[in-house]
Amino acid sequence: MFKKIRKKIKSSFFYELIINSFGKYNKSYAESFGEDLFVDYFFQQKKKGFYVDIGCNLPKSRSLTYLLYKRGWKGVKVDISPRSIKLNKLIRSKDINLNISVGKNESIIDAYIFYDNCSMNTVDKKFKEYTKKSVNKEPTILRLEQLRLNTILKNHEINKIDYLNIDVEGNEENVLDGFAIKKYSPELVSIEIHSEKCPPTNNKIYKFFTSNGYKLSSIYGWTYFFEKYNNRKVHFDY
């Protein structure tokens, strides 16, 4: 009984609001491997900049951009969870926070929400089936607007990105299909690649970046970091 009550409290909006407002963290706010520390180190000389965070989830916990926000950066954050965006609007009000999907087609689509604060919420049907088996739960289906990343950037008059994070649980290729990377030319990009081979040289996402003047910079779990080749901060040389 107590465990059920505790679980219900921890899943509530107000609990998440308190934790993300006043919770204590170690140096990293990221979910798994301290990826945000690498991002912070990469931009250590840049006091102000602009990020785009697709699949941002919570404002502090699990965030790869909160350390930059604390430094004075701002940006666009997108998530398919209405609660996540509500929390981001309250805690990170300097950002543009959007409750939409990002993909190659502009339409109204199904978004699969397993839990309000779940990093495995998705719009990808295959990933939805995988997660459904993993958590043994049927998702709530939301009808949500989907825009191309180029459209979002144009709508908000954004011409330059310093850091781009894409964490969309199986929808990564579709996000990239709607993004003019040479026009916006982010200095650093982080994106999940699920591949048994490391580095995944035959993967479409990997090829997308290497064919557009980017080099693999670092790997944290499934998260791959790519930087512009001329930055010369590369950690790996493949």
Residue 134 scores a pLDDT above 90: no
Residue 89 scores a pLDDT above 90: yes
Residue 7 scores a pLDDT above 90: no
Instruction: Describe the crossing of helices 82-91 and 13-22 by its angle, rounded to 10 degrees.
Output: 40
- pLDDT single digits (tens) 209-223: 999 999 999 999 889
Rounded distance, CA 197 to CA 201, Å? 8
136's enclosing H/E stretch is none
pTM confidence score: 0.87
The pLDDT score that the predictor gives to residue 26 is 58
Residue 83 scores a pLDDT above 50: yes
**Which residue's entry shows tokens 């040289």?**
201
Contact 191, 172 (CB under 8 A): yes
Phi, psi of 134 (to 5 degrees): -65, -45
Work out the pLDDT band at 50, boundaries 50, 70, 90: very high
Residue 108 scores a pLDDT above 60: yes
The pLDDT score that the predictor gives to residue 30 is 85
Bridge partners, residue 111, by sequence: 142
CATH number of 24-99+150-231: 3.40.50.150
Give Cα 92 to chain centroid, integer Å.
15
The pLDDT score that the predictor gives to residue 62 is 87
Q: Exposure pattern of 182-202 as b/e (b: 16+ CB <10 Å)?
A: eebebbbbbbbbeeeeeebee
Residue 74 scores a pLDDT above 60: yes
The whole-chain average pLDDT of the chain stands at 88
Contact 69, 96 (CB under 8 A): no
The pLDDT score that the predictor gives to residue 2 is 44
The pLDDT score that the predictor gives to residue 215 is 94
**What are the boundaries of each domain within the chain?**
24-99+150-231
**Which residue's entry shows tokens 């969309």?**
168
Taking residue 39's Cβ as centre, other Cβ atoms within 10 Å add up to 22
pLDDT > 70: percent of the chain? 85
The pLDDT score that the predictor gives to residue 61 is 87
